[in-house]
Amino acid sequence: MGDAKLMPVEVLTRDEIEKIIEEKLRKIIDELAIKKKLTDLESATNELKSKISSPPSPKPKVSETEMVAQTLLRDLGERTKFLEISIKGDTVVLKKRHYLKIDDFKKVEEIIKKHGGSWSSLKNAFIIRKGRE
Protein backbone atom coordinates (compact mmCIF):
# COMPACT_ATOMS: atom_id res chain seq x y z
CA MET A 1 0.00 0.00 0.00
CA GLY A 2 2.89 2.19 -0.18
CA ASP A 3 2.64 3.84 -3.59
CA ALA A 4 -1.10 4.38 -3.82
CA LYS A 5 -2.02 7.99 -4.01
CA LEU A 6 -4.70 9.01 -1.66
CA MET A 7 -7.56 10.93 -3.05
CA PRO A 8 -8.77 13.86 -1.11
CA VAL A 9 -11.97 13.17 0.75
CA GLU A 10 -14.67 15.78 0.68
CA VAL A 11 -16.29 16.18 4.01
CA LEU A 12 -19.91 17.26 3.97
CA THR A 13 -21.80 18.79 6.78
CA ARG A 14 -25.06 17.31 8.00
CA ASP A 15 -27.04 20.15 6.35
CA GLU A 16 -25.34 19.53 3.01
CA ILE A 17 -26.10 15.80 3.19
CA GLU A 18 -29.75 16.50 4.06
CA LYS A 19 -29.97 18.95 1.16
CA ILE A 20 -28.56 16.37 -1.29
CA ILE A 21 -30.98 13.72 0.02
CA GLU A 22 -33.95 16.13 -0.29
CA GLU A 23 -33.00 16.95 -3.89
CA LYS A 24 -32.73 13.24 -4.76
CA LEU A 25 -36.08 12.52 -3.10
CA ARG A 26 -37.78 15.40 -4.99
CA LYS A 27 -36.35 14.06 -8.24
CA ILE A 28 -37.64 10.55 -7.49
CA ILE A 29 -41.07 11.88 -6.46
CA ASP A 30 -41.29 13.97 -9.64
CA GLU A 31 -40.37 10.92 -11.72
CA LEU A 32 -43.04 8.87 -9.92
CA ALA A 33 -45.67 11.56 -10.55
CA ILE A 34 -44.79 11.57 -14.23
CA LYS A 35 -45.00 7.77 -14.33
CA LYS A 36 -48.44 7.91 -12.69
CA LYS A 37 -49.61 10.50 -15.20
CA LEU A 38 -48.28 8.36 -18.03
CA THR A 39 -50.05 5.30 -16.62
CA ASP A 40 -53.32 7.27 -16.31
CA LEU A 41 -52.91 8.59 -19.85
CA GLU A 42 -52.24 5.10 -21.20
CA SER A 43 -55.32 3.78 -19.39
CA ALA A 44 -57.51 6.58 -20.79
CA THR A 45 -56.11 6.00 -24.29
CA ASN A 46 -56.88 2.28 -24.10
CA GLU A 47 -60.41 3.03 -22.92
CA LEU A 48 -60.95 5.41 -25.85
CA LYS A 49 -59.54 2.85 -28.28
CA SER A 50 -61.96 0.22 -27.04
CA LYS A 51 -64.90 2.63 -27.32
CA ILE A 52 -63.90 3.58 -30.85
CA SER A 53 -63.32 -0.01 -31.97
CA SER A 54 -66.58 -1.40 -30.58
CA PRO A 55 -69.42 -1.19 -33.07
CA PRO A 56 -72.11 1.39 -32.33
CA SER A 57 -75.24 0.06 -30.74
CA PRO A 58 -77.88 -0.66 -33.35
CA LYS A 59 -80.68 1.80 -33.71
CA PRO A 60 -84.03 0.38 -32.73
CA LYS A 61 -85.76 -0.90 -35.82
CA VAL A 62 -89.03 0.73 -36.70
CA SER A 63 -91.40 -1.58 -38.50
CA GLU A 64 -92.84 -0.63 -41.86
CA THR A 65 -96.25 -0.40 -40.21
CA GLU A 66 -94.98 2.07 -37.61
CA MET A 67 -93.33 4.15 -40.34
CA VAL A 68 -96.64 4.25 -42.22
CA ALA A 69 -98.44 5.34 -39.06
CA GLN A 70 -95.91 8.12 -38.49
CA THR A 71 -96.23 9.28 -42.10
CA LEU A 72 -100.01 9.17 -41.82
CA LEU A 73 -99.95 11.40 -38.76
CA ARG A 74 -97.86 13.90 -40.68
CA ASP A 75 -100.00 13.69 -43.83
CA LEU A 76 -103.32 13.90 -41.98
CA GLY A 77 -102.24 16.93 -39.98
CA GLU A 78 -105.20 18.48 -38.13
CA ARG A 79 -107.50 15.67 -39.29
CA THR A 80 -105.86 13.28 -36.80
CA LYS A 81 -108.16 14.77 -34.15
CA PHE A 82 -111.09 13.15 -36.00
CA LEU A 83 -109.50 9.68 -35.93
CA GLU A 84 -108.46 7.04 -33.45
CA ILE A 85 -105.29 5.46 -34.84
CA SER A 86 -103.99 2.07 -33.72
CA ILE A 87 -101.45 -0.46 -34.94
CA LYS A 88 -102.40 -4.13 -34.76
CA GLY A 89 -99.59 -6.34 -36.03
CA ASP A 90 -99.01 -5.38 -39.65
CA THR A 91 -102.17 -3.29 -39.89
CA VAL A 92 -102.87 0.36 -39.22
CA VAL A 93 -106.51 0.97 -38.25
CA LEU A 94 -108.04 4.43 -38.30
CA LYS A 95 -111.51 4.66 -36.74
CA LYS A 96 -113.63 7.76 -36.82
CA ARG A 97 -114.10 9.39 -33.43
CA HIS A 98 -117.36 10.92 -34.66
CA TYR A 99 -119.13 11.73 -37.90
CA LEU A 100 -116.84 13.23 -40.55
CA LYS A 101 -117.99 15.90 -42.95
CA ILE A 102 -117.86 14.68 -46.54
CA ASP A 103 -114.86 16.90 -47.40
CA ASP A 104 -112.88 15.61 -44.39
CA PHE A 105 -113.87 12.00 -45.15
CA LYS A 106 -112.77 12.32 -48.79
CA LYS A 107 -109.44 13.95 -47.84
CA VAL A 108 -108.71 11.24 -45.25
CA GLU A 109 -109.70 8.53 -47.74
CA GLU A 110 -107.39 10.07 -50.36
CA ILE A 111 -104.46 10.02 -47.92
CA ILE A 112 -105.25 6.44 -46.85
CA LYS A 113 -105.33 5.29 -50.49
CA LYS A 114 -101.98 6.98 -51.06
CA HIS A 115 -100.59 4.62 -48.41
CA GLY A 116 -102.25 1.54 -49.90
CA GLY A 117 -105.27 1.44 -47.61
CA SER A 118 -109.02 1.70 -48.02
CA TRP A 119 -112.30 2.26 -46.18
CA SER A 120 -113.89 -0.87 -44.69
CA SER A 121 -117.62 -0.41 -44.20
CA LEU A 122 -117.74 -3.72 -42.29
CA LYS A 123 -115.26 -2.46 -39.68
CA ASN A 124 -116.33 1.16 -40.02
CA ALA A 125 -112.65 2.10 -40.26
CA PHE A 126 -109.84 2.87 -42.67
CA ILE A 127 -107.43 -0.07 -42.95
CA ILE A 128 -103.83 -0.13 -44.18
CA ARG A 129 -102.03 -3.51 -44.28
CA LYS A 130 -98.26 -3.69 -44.58
CA GLY A 131 -95.72 -6.47 -44.59
CA ARG A 132 -97.71 -8.99 -46.64
CA GLU A 133 -97.05 -7.52 -50.05
- Digitized pLDDT (tens) for each residue of the chain, 133 residues in all: 556 677 777 888 899 999 999 999 888 888 888 888 888 888 888 888 888 877 776 766 667 778 878 888 888 888 888 898 888 888 889 999 888 889 989 999 999 998 889 999 998 999 988 765 4
Instruction: Decide: helix, strand or coil at residue 92.
Output: strand
pLDDT at 76: 87
My answer on whether 72 and 119 are in the same domain is yes
pLDDT at 23: 92
My answer on whether 49 and 69 are in the same domain is no
Q: Name residues whose C-beta falls within 8 Å of residue 92's C-beta, 6 or more positions apart in sequence.
A: 65, 68, 69, 72, 85, 86, 115, 117, 127, 128, 130
Q: Looking at the 3D structure of the chain, how many domains does it have?
A: 2
Residue 56: C-alpha distances to residues 43, 45, 51, 60, 75 (Å): 21, 18, 9, 12, 33
Alpha helices, H only, the chain: 14-53, 64-76, 102-114
Q: What is the pTM of this model?
A: 0.51
My answer on whether 33 and 68 are in the same domain is no
